[in-house]
Amino acid sequence: MAKYDLRQYLTTQGQETFRACIIHAPAMSHKTELARRIREVLGAYLFDLQAHFVDHQELAGRIDRFRPRGLEELLLKLDVTESIVVVDNMDFLLNTWTKQRLEEFVAMIDLRLKSPGVTDKTFVFIVQTNPAVVRHDLRNTRGQPRILPLDAFHAL
């Protein structure tokens, strides 16, 4: 697989109609470290989904009913100025979703978080490798994959 410069890759994604992408890796492979580096180096907004659920008990209390559409609504309501939003620590949620819900999540990444019209943000989802998610072949207009393993990038 080709190696990408993450800064350039996210610049490209920021020019796409379908901007959202997924970076995945196995457990304990420094995904959160990458999320923090993206925040530090690129000025992205880091959205820790698990911390958000802990801080909002009404969400934690209905985790078994929280669906991809709910995640989409939550993300679209974020009032942040940064153009890149990194969504980290969401594996707790993905692990509760059925295969159908994971398909809905991928559909959200693929088509629903688009610009213009829906959002002006580039959403970067950093998740643990999940076969039901990573098997999809989403591409941008330059033919680059939108679901990539963490090791597809040069160090940031």
- Domains, the chain, in order of start with CATH, read 6-152 (3.40.50)
Q: Give pLDDT, residue 60.
A: 83
- The predicted-structure confidence for 107-140, as pLDDT tens digits, reads as follows 999 999 988 889 999 999 999 999 999 999 999 9
- The predicted-structure confidence for 19-48, as pLDDT tens digits, reads as follows 999 999 999 999 999 999 999 999 999 999
82 in Cβ contact with 45 (< 8 Å): yes
From CA 99, how far away is CA 122, in angstroms rounded?
Answer: 25
Listed in sequence order, the residues at least 6 apart from 117 whose beta carbon sits closer than 8 Å to its beta carbon are none
Q: Give pLDDT, residue 1.
A: 65
Q: What are phi and psi of 67, to 5 degrees?
A: -115, 170
> CA angle 112-44-96, nearest 5°?
50
From CA 48, how far away is CA 11, in angstroms rounded?
Answer: 22
